Structure 1
Amino acid sequence: MEKKDIYAQANELEQHLGDIYKDIGEMKKKIVQLLEENKRLSLENQQLRSMLKTDQTDKDKIKEENPPSLVIGEGYDNLARLYYEGFHICNVYYGHLRTEGDCLFCLSFLNK
C-alpha cells in the first residue's frame, strides 16, 4: 500500500508544481503589462513636466507670431499648445500621446 501512496503523493505534487508554473507565467505577463504602462506614464509625465516649465514661453511665442490683426481664438491657441506639447488634436487620435513625430491629420487641422 505504501508504494501506491507514494505514487499518489508524487502525482499530486506534480500537479501542484504545474499549477505553480502556470501562476508564475500569469504573473510574468502582468509584470510585463505593468512595466509597459509604467514606461508610457513616465514619458507622459516627463512631457507634462516640460509643458509646465515652458507654458509661459509658449504663450509669449504665440502672441509674437500672430500680429494683432490676425488674432485667432483662444480655442485654437489651446489646440496648438496641446499639439506642440506632444498630443494629437485630430479627430482620429485626439488626446493620445504623439510618439512617432508629426501627425498629418493634426497639421492639416492646424493649417485650416
Structure 2
Amino acid sequence: MDKQAVFAQVANLEERIGELYGELGSLKKKIMELLEENSKLQIENENLRNRLERQTHKQGDVSVPLGEGFDALARLYHEGFHVCNVHYGSMRTEGDCLFCLSFLHKS
C-alpha cells in the first residue's frame, strides 16, 4: 500500500469519526432535553397529586373563593409555576422570576 492510499484512508476515517462525533453530540443533547422534561413532568405530577389529595381531604370545600383570582395566582407561583405573561403556566426551575414578582407586587 503506498503512502497516498494510507493517507487517504486515514483522512476518510477521520471524516467518519467526525460525523459520528457530531451525531453522538446530537443524541447526547436530545437525551439531556428528555431527562430535563421528564424531571419537570415528575415535579408537576407530584404537585398535582398533592393538590388533588388536599382537595379530597377537604371533602368538597372550595379552596379559592370567587373573586380571589390574585390569591390563586400567588398560590400557583408559590407552588412553582410562572404567573407572568412571558412564561405563564410553565414550571419555575431556576428560583424566582422577576416578571412574576413584578406582576404580583403591582397589586
TM-score, with length taken from structure 1? 0.64
Aligned to 1:94: 88
Gaps of 5+ in 2: none
State the alpha-carbon separation in 1 of the partners of residues 62 and 11 from structure 2.
67
CA spacing shift, 1:58–1:84, aligned 2, 3 Å: farther
Structure 2 residue corresponding to 1:27, chosen from 2, 23, 26: 23
Of the candidates 4, 13, 33, which is equivalent to residue 17 of structure 1?
13
SS in 1 for 2:2: helix
**Could you tell me the TM-score, scaled by structure 2's length?**
0.66
Report the CA distance between 1:53 and its aligned residue. 0.8
1:87/1:95 contact within 8 Å kept: yes
Matched pairs, number? 102
RMSD between aligned residues: 3.3
Counterpart CA distance in 2 for 1:28 and 1:109 is 43
What amino acid maps onto 1:27 in structure 2? E
- Of 79-88 and 29-38, deviating more is 79-88
Q: Percent identity?
A: 33
Rate the CA distance shift 1:21–1:48 in 2: closer, same or farther, 3 A. same
1:48 corresponds to = 44
Name the one with the larger helix percent: 1
